[in-house]
A and B are shown apart, each in its own frame.
Chain A
Amino acid sequence: MTTNTAKDEALDLTRACELAEEEAGTAGPVIRVLQKVQAHYGYIPPEFLPEMAEILEVPLAKIFGALTFYSQFYTEPRGKYVVRICVGTACHVQGSKDILDRLKGDIGVEAGGTTPDMMFTLEPVACIGSCGLAPLCLINTETAAHQTPALMVEKIAAIREKESASVAEE
């Protein structure tokens, strides 16, 4: 699904244009198209926005406004593993900040950042809605309950090992 290859390679936007055309003429299409494009590419390629404006006949400013307003739209490719640390109230009072701080050091990026090898994206999120299991972390769609900094560091190390093993095999 996600095409996180080198950024300087020109991206094929055909599918994005098709998705926009499907929604052209419907009521309030902007968010829907952005969601579909992101589902396909893993992020929203900024170079697609002018084309999207043209297809939908919506001002570019409006599209850009919606894109930057919502926290779940990304304009840059993200890591293969998106590590989300819940920082909702229940997780906060159970020490999720310590987990986030530790991982910032361990993964080596700031909150919201992606490692240069496109392996990890570290992202604090507000409430996943399983507060009884706080503190809570997600690695992609896998939820881990009752986490500690040490447990998460272990998990990250395990992923690194797995990845380097698969690289070695190739």
Chain B
Amino acid sequence: MADEKKSGAALAEAPAAAAAKTPSVMPKRFVPWPEGREKPRIWIGMGTCGTASGAQALKEEIAAFLEDHKLEADVMPTGCVGMCHNEPLVDIQVKGRPRVCYRKVSSKNLQQILKEHLLDGEASKRSAFGQLPNPDEKQVLYEGVPLFHDEPFFKDQVKIVMQRCGVVDYYAIDDYLATGGYEGLRKAVTMTSDQIIDEVKKSGLRGRGGAGFPTWMKWKFARDAEGTPKYMVCNADEGDPGAFMDRAVLEGDPHTLLEGMIIGAYAVGAKYGYIYCRAEYPLAIKILTEAIKQAKERGFLGDNILGTGFAYDIIIKEGAGAYVCGEEMALLNSIMGERGMPVIKPPFPATHGVWGKPTNINNVETFANIAEIVQRGGDWYAYWGSETTKGTKTFALTGKVKRPGLVEVPTGTTIRKLVEEIGGGMTLKKVGFKAAQFGGPSGGCLPAEYMETGIDYESLNAGGAIMGSGGVVVLDEYNCMVDTARFFMEFTVDESCGKCTPCRDGTALMLQILERITHGEGELGDIPKLQQISHFTKANSLCGLGQVAPNPVLTTLRYFRDEVEEHIVDKKCRAHSCDELIEYVVMEDKCTTCGLCKPPCPTDALQWEKKQTAFINHETCIRCKACVMACPFMAIK
């Protein structure tokens, strides 16, 4: 299970042979300081999440500050470094000193940061998250500012896919080139197709979209398929709610994706490519469009790539809002302007894909690994990760953790490490961990006993969840497991394309039953019924969507059966989440008579006198939960 030995942290124990191929430090990228440059550089985290946190206003304030003080500096946008909990982020670097990352920047502390850093020549310690000294350059460290990569959130991360996200200017191909960009492609065009596919095979890379099919095998099928032209397609239809690592790559480091696709196209002999991106990511589409233009200008894309005569062109296709289009055949149909419906396989896309031609489809994160694999070799990549799943995986860690964000770790890292060390533990101190939801609507909830499990495709499958695209939503005791299962089923019912009966009707039936249970009208026979429908839907659905849709129900029944039964028999929801099943009471033994619960109550149903246990009048209680949330001792249930 957990292969601690190889999970990044314990590098010292690595076998000598592997160690020789492994840099003593993990791959970290720094934008070099150009020779002769005097002007400071300022990066603002302006991915979708940075912008949502107010980065645009910061940009204007920075410009105003520079003008007021007659200063010159380059202000650049950068993507998401993964620290959603510290947004918005601003990085500043002056000549001869390391880049410093400032967190939770607002108009309140921005002036001080700029003044101290740019005018006084010192880092503004109060807002500094960390400094990033570039080992290749002579830089004088700031005193009293921690090292960025030693912070608990980053310490155990190994960044391969996300190495440039939040580091480079996402509109600048020169930043990409200065950080080793397109070196993989330069090497690839000197190799044969077999050699490239062999490196990918050695790396052990498997599809990061969720299914985990070996990438090299897919490439080989497409290469050996007859028919021209061939297509190399990227699935950027990141539809799983709770997953956003693809968006981070698309926005933060678009050229990594392009380079991976171009190398793939070279290996399978593809002439055209599509990037199918969901319409909900307008910024990603804008950045990608610019990246493609720049890559063409520099000869990395187009009719004569790097002067080799190899031609490959990429077109962006914007989705129109359909989750099922993440399924490869549905995606291809959508590219061709049709309804995004899956079809029976075989034939597989490798032989009959877009316009009936051989087509290879990979996910964004898969492609983002390729350049590094080709450049550093498959063995280097295979050093990371667990026995069966090599390399790293990016997880979107969200829900009830202190430090939500994007986390890239070697596979085999335990759930505990992810949640407690990197994620910083639960948001509310007194409200414990209940489950980690993996794989979105196709996955499942793993309870606390899986905390020590190393995460890879096999271990998650064994637990009844799936890796999926890598969304991890942490649930605490305030989250109802029946409601969570109902939530995912509602999503699947909405998104089922309706072509095959098991998925269309099976999911609808399951939703009906789950709704009944959450409304307090469940019957004991519902549990076997849910199981029966789940197995039927799993076994008989046409495409991946239906085959995995019952997973949330099955894992809930497997690990949280008592909670389901409690809903049915006792008509109780222990998480206080199902409105119809709530009757709040104050538990005398836990109540400290502090009175914090009284002010939030909108109907005065909560009665409290000094030094007396609070009491709830059920006649006037509207079950708004305000008192429950206000109580720091979980004394109201």
| Chain A residues in the interface with B (C-beta under 8 A) | 27-32, 34-35, 62, 65-66, 69-73, 87-94, 125-134, 136, 141, 143-145
Contact = CB atoms under 8 A, between A and B. Distances in A.
B84 interface: yes
Contact of A88 (B241, B321, B406, B479): B241
Interface stretch (B331-339, B365-373, B582-590): B331-339
Given A71-B321, A72-B320, A28 B337 contact: yes
Contact of A32 (B337, B355, B488): B337
B240 interface: yes
Contacts of B282: 141
A144 B52 CA distance: 6
A16 to B, nearest CB: 17
B52 A133 contact: yes
A145 B320 CA distance: 24
Contact of B473 (A30, A70, A93): A93
B255 to A, nearest CB: 20
Contact of B399 (A62, A70, A93): A93
7 contacts: A27-B336, A90-B399, A91-B241, A92-B241, A93-B484, A126-B239, A127-B239
B280 A133 contact: no
Interface residues of B, number: 55
A72 B279 contact: yes
Nearest to B322: A70
B404 A72 contact: no
Contacts, number: 137
Interface of B: 48-49, 51-53, 84-85, 87, 238-244, 247, 279-282, 318-323, 334-341, 355, 396, 398-400, 404-406, 437, 440, 471, 473, 475, 479, 484, 487-488, 491, 494-495, 497
A-B pairs, top 7 by smallest CB distance, nearest first, are: A132-B84, A28-B337, A88-B241, A72-B321, A143-B52, A70-B320, A89-B242
B247 A129 contact: yes
Contacts of B338: 28, 30, 62, 65-66
Contacts of B334: 31
A35 B335 contact: no
Nearest to A145: B52
A89 B241 contact: yes
B323 to A, nearest CB: 7
A167 to B, nearest CB: 28
Nearest to A63: B337
B184 to A, nearest CB: 27
Nearest to A31: B337
B339 A65 contact: yes
A129 B320 contact: no
A29 B336 CA distance: 8
A27 B335 CA distance: 10
A141 B371 CA distance: 34
A132 B280 contact: no
